[in-house]
Structure 1
Amino acid sequence: MTNIKVMYAGQQQQTITSLEVAEMVGREHKNVMQDIRKISADLGQLKIQPSSYFTESTYKNNQNKTQPMFLLTKQGCELYGNRMTGIEGTAFAIKYIERFNEMEQVIQHNLPTDPLELALTAALDTRKEVAAIKEDVDYLKDNMRINTYQEKTLQDIVKRKAMKALGGYKSLAYEMLANKVFRAAWRDFKNHFGISTYKELPAKRFDEGVKLLNYWEPGASLRMDIESYQNQQSLID
């Protein structure tokens, strides 16, 4: 069974996770999530704030990936249980009531009464939350890809380098080799970073990508092809 989520007085209400609910009712977690989203949508149409019943949150799965879940208050469990009838609804009611009773007992036995101890406990909880947030931020920094503006910046550099190498839009080399030069630039870029498209470039390596493209020049064989067309154009002109 998933660990009990205990909230001390002065914080938010005691809750259980949608993972626990899924285990209690014997359903896939994704299906429980769908149910809760549907109920939340119904509450919204009734002009009722779903936050008194369900709160969106996240958890780390076995692969250490952040996944969505909901936190359900006791009212939320009651509302969710109303969708079930017969023995299934009764069984769920017994399980979530027992779980909330367990949380109440944990609070009664572990909640500090000394004001200083209460403050220290709250500070420790806050520190843990900050550490968890920092961990999520670090994960995003490591995995976030470049944005649209950064994509455009890279495109502009490749365009500028290609135009310079080919001699401009009106050149014979551009007419015959433009696609080949652009492909070569992006191929070298993707090979350097080990990605399948330049849009997969990690945001933290954007400056390195800019530097690489500013250094880029067509390879020897491609330069010879460009020179050949430039020589033909000089004879025509």
Structure 2
Amino acid sequence: MNQLITTQNNEQGEIIISGRELHEFLEVKTAYKDWFPRMKEYGFVEGQDFSSFLSGSTGGRPSQDHHIKIDMAKEIAMIQRTEKGKEARQYFLHLERMWNSPEMVIKRAMDFQQQKIITLETQIQEDKPYTSFGKVVSMSDGAINIGHFAKILYDDHGINIGRNKLIAWLRDNGYLIKQEGAEKNLPKQKYIEQGLFKVRPTIVKRTSGDVQSGTTLVTGKGQVKLTEVLLQEFKKAI
């Protein structure tokens, strides 16, 4: 079927069309500025069924137009009770069948994954000035605990890894000590010397006597370095 009316996809991937273009196709005699408010009276809601925007103009002021979702467009076409309305409705039903076909569902999924990869690669490129020149994050000291770092990874970079999984990842990748004992989950000395971690001494009070322990902190430099590594890992997992 030939393209009768131009379609687009909104940010949610839904099919939308121009209200003015639909008005023109249906050959409605009433002016668009009077016709569309009458269509809204059938129960359509802005932000749910349509959105307003100003269309370009070759002369004078831009015109009011609307992005209409496919369900609203079908109902409007049916309301007209004309041959053009019937033709438009059949066209919209055809678009829906095509949109929901297995081939299109797979294509949209692949496009979505590709966009995620592009977004991650862009983020890595944007972060390179910090990692290349050893800049630390803009904090007075920059050192934070692993739970806080896990939250930053999720909030700022979309890496969904909690505190416990992050600790396990740091152990498995050789940054933290694996062996059981007082030093478990403390950073290895070479990474402390590289400035990626600090250890904050803590005293654990026990009936048998106070025991000195330590809390692992990720420095500003460590946050930048580990974020770059984790972004690369996350990209491979997609």
TM-score, structure 2 as length reference: 0.37
TM-score, structure 1 as length reference: 0.37
